[in-house]
A and B are shown apart, each in its own frame.
Chain A
């Protein structure tokens, strides 16, 4: 630990926040979908991977980064809409396990579909030119792109917050996340709300994928481990809680990056240890309510 300085800690903290930002986007999508539809989306990792591939494909074909950042989530979100309407809808009312199993099977299809089109090997993805390099953030030089990931996530969260707080649709979603029964009682067109929420959740997953692509490249299997990590975030934050998803996402990101500094061999196990501790002291998560679990 000779080279350990406050600067290094600070930089590692920022790295953790950037990683956490991706977790936040994934977990918010998972939580929204679960809160409204009581569907645990096991294809969430696959949608994330698909977003990264679509983004890469767009970049390869000369589409500029900003446009790709908008188009890839849009495309995957539309696929999400189609999936909800055709595959998940018939399963409502048949028990909570069925949509879960369906999305699990779907993830197989999506991953293998990507392999059919793009092959089994991964690709590196270039960081857009304008976001290359590093900037001084006070504790040292930090990659500009990671800073951008943090900023982009913050903007998305702000937009999501405004959408949920200021629109009547957002009101329905918030009420629904608190108690799915209420929305039904209110006589809202639930089917449409569910459709949109599922599309929104998958689009957020895809957005996380596009943002992650320049950091780690793309590979068909990239969705599997991150699904497990997103689950950890949701369990730690509390299922169905958006505030919980945001805070737990950042926490998990920081824990991963800090353990990779102090005990690199433990970095991948650390978050599961964190989850185990949370389960022991607060099984419903930091912001979870017991009612949603059953």
Chain B
């Protein structure tokens, strides 16, 4: 199971021409799409949600899509990031940037703790153990109502203006709001692109492609998994921090099992192991949710069916299938 852990995708010829250029400039192109996005989508609040969840799914994608390790506990990384940022801003009255920093720290810390335990198991156990440990984090935050607000969630994460280099941005304005979040997402995209292009990025590919071969070449596979999990946690922590700033509240559901599943669904719908897929998946999921819920409260039925269809028929996801088509 080591080799075909995620997708036994058949290798394809190297991309040529403009597609190869697009691949090298992937962070620029992805950022451009996100910057233009609110011009296409009239609902700015939804667009901001898509950014946040896209970033969250991007965090999982590094682990699941690129490394081939499936986690069902990413809600813990996302949620701890959200709560750390929320508590910093709402309870301690710290500025927004400290909230973001603490959010990233929270996601990283949660990933280090969960990862260190879960990494002791192998293969399919990993998904189960991460799920269970994330459930544990959910209960812990639920019980610590003094800090987290417990069942009713954490309220009052209010940031009205973002002050940067003497310029003050009105964070209440929907468009400004979007672009502030977008700025962080763009930074994350460039960071991810850089990691993927680094020697460590090569190691990630190697472990996904052939774990046994990687180990025989002298790569400490479990350490690689742990480090990737932690880096993934930093992205998810940032996404969580942005979530709490975006909504001004952190609900306890952020930590539950469905939220972990959400990232997996978005990854797969969009196309795992593709650079922009998580954002496509997040957009699809949230648009589907918003549109279908106009007609029926049972939108999860449609989403579940779409996901099952994706697993059965489009394992590369929408973006992945599109990219594959372009390469031909």
Interface on A for B, CB 8 Å cutoff? 34, 38, 40, 42, 87, 90-91, 94-98, 100-102, 104-109, 111-113, 115-116, 224-225, 227-229, 231-232, 234-235, 239, 265, 268-269, 272-273, 275-276, 279-280, 283-284, 293-294
Contact = CB atoms under 8 A, between A and B. Distances in A.
The 10 closest A-B pairs by CB, nearest first: A108-B304, A272-B136, A105-B307, A109-B304, A228-B135, A105-B308, A112-B300, A231-B128, A283-B120, A112-B301
Interface of B: 1-2, 4-8, 70, 72, 117-118, 120-125, 127-129, 131-133, 135-136, 139-140, 143, 256-258, 261, 264-265, 268, 298, 300-301, 303-305, 307-308, 310-312, 315
Describe A's contact surface by its main secondary structure: helix
17 contacts: A38-B124, A94-B7, A98-B311, A101-B307, A105-B265, A106-B308, A108-B301, A112-B300, A112-B304, A228-B135, A235-B128, A268-B139, A269-B136, A272-B136, A283-B120, A284-B121, A294-B2
A95 B1 contact: yes
B268 A101 contact: yes
A58 to B, nearest CB: 24
B133 A272 contact: yes
A90 B308 CA distance: 12
Given A105-B304, A112-B304, A224-B257, 13 more contacts: A34-B124, A87-B312, A95-B1, A95-B6, A100-B127, A102-B311, A106-B304, A109-B301, A109-B304, A111-B300, A225-B135, A275-B133, A276-B117
B28 to A, nearest CB: 32
Contacts of B7: 94-95
A121 B72 CA distance: 26
Contacts of A283: 120-121
B132 A228 contact: yes
Given A94-B315, A283-B121, A109 B308 contact: yes
Contacts, number: 141
Contact of A231 (B132, B256, B303): B132
B298 A115 contact: yes
A197 B6 CA distance: 25
B120 A294 contact: no
Q: Find the residue from A100, A108, A239, A275 having the highest chain B CB count within 10 A.
A: A108
A279 B132 CA distance: 12
Nearest to A293: B122
A149 to B, nearest CB: 24
B269 to A, nearest CB: 10
A116 B128 contact: no
B204 to A, nearest CB: 17
B142 to A, nearest CB: 8
Contact of B264 (A104, A111, A229, A273): A104
Nearest to B118: A279
A221 to B, nearest CB: 9
A222 to B, nearest CB: 13
Contacts of A111: 300
